[in-house]
Amino acid sequence: YNKETGLGKTATRPKMCNTDFDEDYYDNRLSMLMHGQQPEGFPDVKGEPTLHPFWAAGFSFSRGHFIVQVPYDRYLPMVFQGEEINLGLRGWTYGYDYYTPESSILYHYYNAGPKGENRKVESFYEHSDAYQGLEKAAMARLLGVIQLLPDTKQEGKEDNSEEESQEEAIKWNHVEEKKYGIGKVRTVEKFLKTFGINIYTREVEHHLCQFVGKPMNSMFIPHLRKNGMGIDYDTIDFEFKNPVKHGKQWDSENAEDVDEEEEEEEVEEEK
């Protein structure tokens, strides 16, 4: 962007559609969904923002009731990675939807100095030795409070060993769970199924970014509640699958919608 005017020099913008499990080295059950590098390109949706599934910590604005309904959890010491899936999923279950604007309007300086040189930025990790054990306990809470700690017996597996079946469940801090937990408008299960996430196998259906954009807007925006209070996912029957392996199922979905519309028009003409 132009440093003198503050205006952007590009017409591209990022969208939140990439996520994958970041494996915990010491306990795989504490692996979390982390939104990594997001794609930036020219929007295929014009004249309106683009709906996307994930919340971005770097650029977020809303009406004030969002932070009232979904406050930052104060029981997560020494946690940095994990903030986005925690607040994002909680907000989604409260009925909030996330959009990216048609063009970039905000930029970040992370470690660039006045002359463009890289500079060291201090972070709280420098003090990790003074708070040993807190990060693991906090991560257990972060995942537990949003129902992303899998059961010991993994779904779809019948060959679990006796040792695995007797593995002690992860304990986590439940204090003020209702205040910092999930909402009642949508379920975590619906979120996971809709966007191709399996917490038992720790796998995601990749290439979600191919769907996020015009296809997702076209399919989901028509389900916006009449009062404008979010998309009614109860009326959406869609489970994202990797389009590289399974093809673009939304093309067939749209084709079915077109066929139904044509049939209705034919019936009207016959009448």
- The pLDDT tens digits of the residues spanning 197-218 come to 999 999 999 999 999 999 999 9
The answer, as to whether pTM is greater than 0.85, is: no
Alpha-carbon span 179 to 77, nearest angstrom: 17
Average of per-residue pLDDT across 3-20: 84
Residue 88: the pLDDT is 97
- Average pLDDT rounded to a whole number, residues 180-186: 96
For strand 203-204 and strand 197-198, is the pairing parallel, antiparallel, or unpaired?
antiparallel
- The DSSP 8-state label assigned to residue 112 in this structure reads B
pLDDT for 182 beyond 90: yes
Residue 250, SS3 per DSSP: helix
Between the two ends of the chain, the Cα-to-Cα distance in Å is 59
Q: Give the confidence band of 108 by pLDDT, cuts at 50, 70, 90.
A: confident
CA distance 107 to 8: 9
Residue with tokens 């996520």: 19
Mean per-residue pLDDT over the chain, rounded: 83
pLDDT score for 141 = 95
DSSP 5-54: T---S---EE-----EEE--SS-GGG-EEE--SPPEE--SS-SSPEEESS
Instruction: Please state which of the ranges 18-22, 29-33, 157-161, 227-231 shows the lowest mean pLDDT.
Output: 157-161
Rounded Cα–Cα distance for residues 86 and 148 (Å): 10
pLDDT higher at 14 or 27: 14
Distances in Å between the alpha carbon of 109 and those of 36, 80, 112, 139, 196? 18, 18, 6, 28, 33
> pLDDT at residue 156 above 50?
no
**3-class state of residue 118 by DSSP:** strand
Best CA proximity match to 217, nearest among 105, 84, 53, 19: 53
Please give the pLDDT value at position 157: 44
Question: 72-86, 123-137, 146-160: which range is least confident on average?
Answer: 146-160
The token pair that represents 196 in the structure block: 């191709």
Return d(Cα 74, Cα 176) in angstroms, integer. Answer: 10
Q: What is the mean pLDDT of residues 174-199?
A: 96
How far does CA 17 lie from the centroid of its chain?
Answer: 7
- Of the chain, the percentage scoring pLDDT greater than 70 comes to 82
Residue 180 has pLDDT above 90, yes or no: yes
∠ CA 101-106-109, rounded to 5°: 145
pLDDT of residue 1: 67
